[in-house]
Amino acid sequence: MPTIFRLDGHRFYFYSHEPNEPPHVHGDKGGSSMKVWLDSVDMAKNTGFRRSEINGIIVMVATHRNRLLEAWQEYFG
C-alpha cells in the first residue's frame, strides 16, 4: 500500500489490490479513514471522520489531485 504523501497528520495512499476501480485515494488520520474518487473528487466511503473533517480532506485531495492522478497512473499503469 504505497503512501503518496502526508499532510497535516493525514496519510494519503493506494491499496495495491484495487487496480480495477476508478482512480481513488485513501486518507487516514488517527483511527479514521476515507476513500475519495479522483475523477470527481467525491467521497466514496468514510469511517470515523466528522463532516467538517470530510470537507477538509476533500479540499486536500482537490488541491493535490494532479499529483495523485499521476501517482495512480505510474503505479497502476
Note the pLDDT tens digit of each residue in 24-57: 999 999 999 999 999 999 999 999 999 999 999 9
Tell me the average pLDDT across 50-76: 95
Q: How far apart are CA 39 and CA 30, in angstroms?
A: 26
Q: How far apart are CA 42 and CA 15, in angstroms?
A: 18
Decide: 39 and 65 in contact? Cβ < 8 Å.
no
- Residue 64's pLDDT is 97
Residue 17, pLDDT above cutoff 90: no
- Predicted confidence band at 22 (pLDDT cuts at 50, 70, 90)? very high
Question: For the chain, which residues make up each domain, given as ranges?
Answer: 3-76
